[in-house]
Amino acid sequence: MIASELLGTKRFTAQLKEQYTSITKRAFEQLVGEKINDRLKVAMAPESVSIADPVAPPPQGNVNDLESKNQASSGAAISTTADEIEAFHTVRAVLYGTVQAKRIFMRDSQSYCAILFDDNNRKPICRLRFNNTKQLRFGLFDERREEVIHELQSIEDIFNFAESLRLTAVSYVEGSSKN
């Protein structure tokens, strides 16, 4: 069937059959290999948006682009909003001089957006609960690593919690230097 379209009026001999069988088999194996690699890449991709470079611009594209990328990688409706990105940069600005900016990461999930130290979910600096745009909520961690949620009027209110953010980040730096 495949050869008849390519050969036209030529005869389909046993030698041509062998060639087409070999070519078709390799093409099929390559196609299956590519599909497997694509699935592995999606499975191995982090479920977060990580911004490690302190001079890197915010992710390119609009919020819908980020949302579709997050949905593709995790199968769930995760959307990283412009407010979350702005809040992330605000937290990095607050922590400037306390810790290196390259050690601060952002990881978005369905219920909150975590800002982490060393991209480690066991070292959360704060959580942004911005899913309800009418009610911005900001989670800080106390000395027992329990989250305390605060209401924000605007993203700039994060600066009011600068000392708590610095104490949390310093505790992680001191904890990692002891090990």
Return the domain boundaries, the chain: 2-44, 63-178
At a CB cut-off of 8 Å and minimum separation 6, what does 101 contact?
Answer: 54, 92, 95
What value does the mean pLDDT of the chain take?
A: 78
Q: Where are the alpha helices (DSSP H) in the chain?
A: 2-7, 14-44, 63-74, 82-94, 162-178
Query: Which pair of structure tokens corresponds to residue 21?
Result: 């069988």
Instruction: Write down the pLDDT at residue 55.
Output: 43
pLDDT in tens, 102-120: 999 999 888 899 999 999 9
The type of residue at 51 is: I
